[in-house]
């Protein structure tokens, strides 16, 4: 079945080639019928939400056992995803204007604006996250960040994946686009099911550590010295 149920989410309106089939000229001739800004929008968004963002979150889910190297990959992939998302939104916005973006494809455009806003919000959360110094306990703000940041990321990723799946039928005719969309969604399900399995497996294989305790000792000068952790690190 076709994925497009809202008639406002169709490119087959006057001036848009949503019903164009691939003719003898092949795929290049097919794409040549589309406005350049629309093709760039599709390219940037596909790169962001079919490649970069899924890889960034996959790394965060599966590679945390490798010291801090996972974070460098996660940060780089998510920043690249945010940049390409802005580029994809910008190409459509500059051509269509705010009002026309919503009229152009109502549901797809509305969810797309939410995805862009949520992406920028979560990137800013990551950039300005509360840091934790080695040997100190996490602050309340840090604990709050570690709760909000991953869940916002998962929600925005789910919406971004949905957008790619519903955007493909907008670019191609509904039957071809729907087939590609279902294949893409199936790949994402397999990818993150495997990531969840690895995350649970890594969690079960990680030795449980005792909760850090704070002990007070006195130095030779009778001044209190605070030690935190299981091995006594002076602060």
- The two tokens of residue 36 are 């350049």
pLDDT, tens digit (0-9, with 9 covering 90-100), for 170-196? 777 667 777 888 888 889 999 989 988
Per-residue pLDDT at 218 exceeds 50: no
Q: At what angle do helices 69-104 and 106-127 cross, to 10 degrees?
A: 150
Q: At what angle do helices 53-62 and 69-104 cross, to 10 degrees?
A: 150
pLDDT score for 228:
47
Q: At what angle do helices 140-171 and 53-62 cross, to 10 degrees?
A: 140
Which range among 115-129, 136-150, 197-211 shows the weakest confidence by mean pLDDT?
Answer: 197-211
Strand partners, 225: 217
Which residue would you say has higher pLDDT here, 139 or 30? 139
| Spatial separation of the C-alpha atoms in residues 166 and 164, rounded to whole Å | 6
DSSP string for 68-129: THHHHHHHHHHHHHHHHHHHHHHHHHHHHHHHHHHHHSHHHHHHHHHHHHHHHHHHHHHHTP
Asked if residue 79 lies in contact with residue 123, where contact means CB atoms within 8 angstroms, the answer is yes
- In degrees rounded to 5, what are phi and psi of residue 214? -115, 125
Q: pTM for this one?
A: 0.68
- The two tokens of residue 161 are 């994946």
Asked if residue 49 lies in contact with residue 161, where contact means CB atoms within 8 angstroms, the answer is yes
Per-residue pLDDT at 230 exceeds 60: no
Q: Counting beta carbons within 10 angstroms of the beta carbon of residue 167, is it exposed (0 to 12), middle (13 to 18) or buried (19 or more)?
A: buried
Per-residue pLDDT at 34 exceeds 50: yes
| Spatial separation of the C-alpha atoms in residues 188 and 93, rounded to whole Å | 28
- The two tokens of residue 75 are 């940060």
């Amino acid at each position: 079945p076709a994925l497009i149920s809202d008639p406002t989410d169709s490119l087959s309106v006057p001036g848009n080639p949503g019903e164009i089939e691939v003719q003898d000229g092949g795929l290049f001739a097919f794409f040549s019928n589309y406005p350049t800004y629309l093709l760039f929008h599709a390219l940037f968004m596909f790169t962001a939400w079919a490649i970069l963002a899924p890889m960034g979150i996959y790394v965060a889910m599966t590679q945390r056992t490798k010291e801090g190297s996972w974070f460098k990959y996660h940060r780089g992939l998510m920043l690249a995803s945010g940049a390409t998302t802005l580029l994809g939104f910008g190409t459509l916005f500059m051509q269509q204007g705010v009002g026309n973006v919503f009229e152009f494809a109502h549901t797809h455009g509305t969810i797309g604006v939410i995805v862009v806003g949520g992406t920028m919000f979560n990137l800013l959360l990551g950039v300005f996250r509360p840091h934790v110094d080695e040997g100190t306990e996490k602050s309340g703000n840090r604990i709050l960040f570690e709760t909000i940041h991953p869940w916002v990321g998962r929600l925005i990723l789910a919406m971004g994946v949905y957008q790619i799946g519903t955007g493909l039928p907008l670019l191609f005719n509904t039957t071809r686009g729907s087939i590609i969309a279902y294949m893409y969604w199936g790949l994402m399900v397999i990818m993150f099911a495997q990531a969840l399995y690895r995350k649970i497996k890594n969690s079960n294989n990680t030795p449980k550590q005792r909760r850090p305790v704070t002990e007070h000792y006195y130095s030779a000068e009778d001044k209190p010295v605070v030690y935190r952790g299981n091995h006594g690190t002076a602060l």
